[in-house]
């Protein structure tokens, strides 16, 4: 069997667990990323596993994998390299158990050390400039829809959602009449959480839905919340394109590698700056690990010291 045949079988087995679309897509992309190096070829297009067509398990050797991962690591963050290595480690382990490899070569390849990450919140002046241009379409926009852009901006900055979570929202996920108004958000691992939103965000979403002609939330409950002019759901790339336009028209440069995610960083940072606790922010963001949320507190001694100084028990001393 070719490596492509085996990869397709393995992916099909993993998909029986019904992973999120992002997880399933990332798994195929990870196989493709290293497969290009193993095959010494550049393959594009939707059939990413096609790059493995001319390879066999005999081509999955320690030396070739080491070379492939070294090339990959040169242009990618250590977190991405760790994820791709994890995918290949699982794939090779399955091939060993299924009798296609004698041993797992990935056992001899060390993953890069975890590097500390720090949030990249927008500066207040940058946020204000971007907010202004999110509310006013550019003069070159072919199909301006300011109400939708304002709703998108509200979801990013007033709810701190991931771009994938924004794209997955349906009209039925909006409980705008509740007290407080809230969104039902499907996060990583298909985990559901509730995110309260302020009245200003509700107003933006209401205005957008009115401009779209939505009158009955129950009838349209399963429709995507954000759509393009043709009625199809806005994809992650379409959302990023809209956000990129805001920054461009505002003459601002988003933090490197953040773009839409910079709003999430800003949301979390502002919550903590205004007294929200780490467990509260963790729940709102949908973080599985509190350590991830703790990065927003600041890894400097100054940030930790300020948190300690906020302890009201000081008044009893």
Residues taking part in catalysis:
162, 188, 261, 264, 287, 296
Rounded Cα distance between 272 and 284, Å, is 12
Rounded Cα distance between 243 and 246, Å, is 5
Long-range pairs for 231-234 at CB < 8 Å and ≥24 separation? 233/167, 234/152, 234/167
Closest CA to 129 of 102, 113, 153, 109: 153
CA angle 130, 134, 140 (to 5 degrees): 110
Rounded Cα distance between 39 and 290, Å, is 41
Count the neighbouring beta carbons within 10 Å of the beta carbon of residue 40: 9
Rounded Cα distance between 282 and 258, Å, is 19
Cis before 180? omega within 30 = yes
């Amino acid at each position: 069997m070719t490596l492509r045949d085996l990869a397709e079988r393995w992916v099909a087995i993993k998909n029986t667990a019904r992973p999120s679309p992002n997880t399933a897509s990332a798994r195929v992309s990870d196989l493709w990323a290293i497969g290009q190096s193993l095959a010494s070829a550049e393959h594009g297009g939707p059939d990413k596993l096609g790059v493995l067509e001319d390879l066999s398990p005999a081509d999955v050797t320690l030396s070739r994998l080491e070379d492939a991962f070294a090339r990959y690591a040169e242009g990618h963050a250590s977190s991405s390299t760790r994820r791709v290595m994890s995918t290949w480690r699982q794939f090779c382990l399955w091939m060993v158990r299924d009798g296609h490899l004698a041993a797992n070569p990935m056992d001899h390849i060390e993953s890069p050390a975890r590097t500390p990450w720090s949030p990249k919140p927008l500066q207040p002046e940058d946020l204000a400039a971007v907010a202004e241009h999110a509310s006013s379409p550019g003069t070159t926009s072919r199909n301006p829809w300011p109400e939708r852009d304002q709703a998108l901006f509200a979801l990013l900055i007033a709810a701190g959602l991931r771009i994938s979570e924004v794209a997955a929202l349906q009209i039925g996920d909006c409980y705008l009449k509740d007290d407080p108004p809230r969104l039902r958000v499907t996060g990583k691992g298909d985990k559901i959480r509730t995110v309260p939103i302020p009245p200003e965000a509700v107003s933006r979403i209401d205005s957008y839905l009115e401009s779209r002609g939505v009158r009955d939330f129950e009838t349209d409950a399963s429709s995507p919340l954000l759509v393009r002019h043709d009625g199809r759901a806005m994809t992650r790339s379409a959302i990023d394109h809209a956000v990129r336009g805001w920054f461009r028209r505002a003459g601002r440069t988003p933090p490197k590698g953040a773009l839409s995610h910079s709003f999430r960083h800003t949301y979390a940072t502002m919550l903590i700056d205004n007294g929200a606790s780490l467990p509260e922010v963790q729940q709102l963001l949908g973080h599985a690990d509190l350590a991830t949320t703790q990065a927003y507190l600041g890894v400097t001694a100054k940030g930790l010291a300020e948190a300690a100084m906020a302890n009201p028990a000081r008044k009893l001393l």
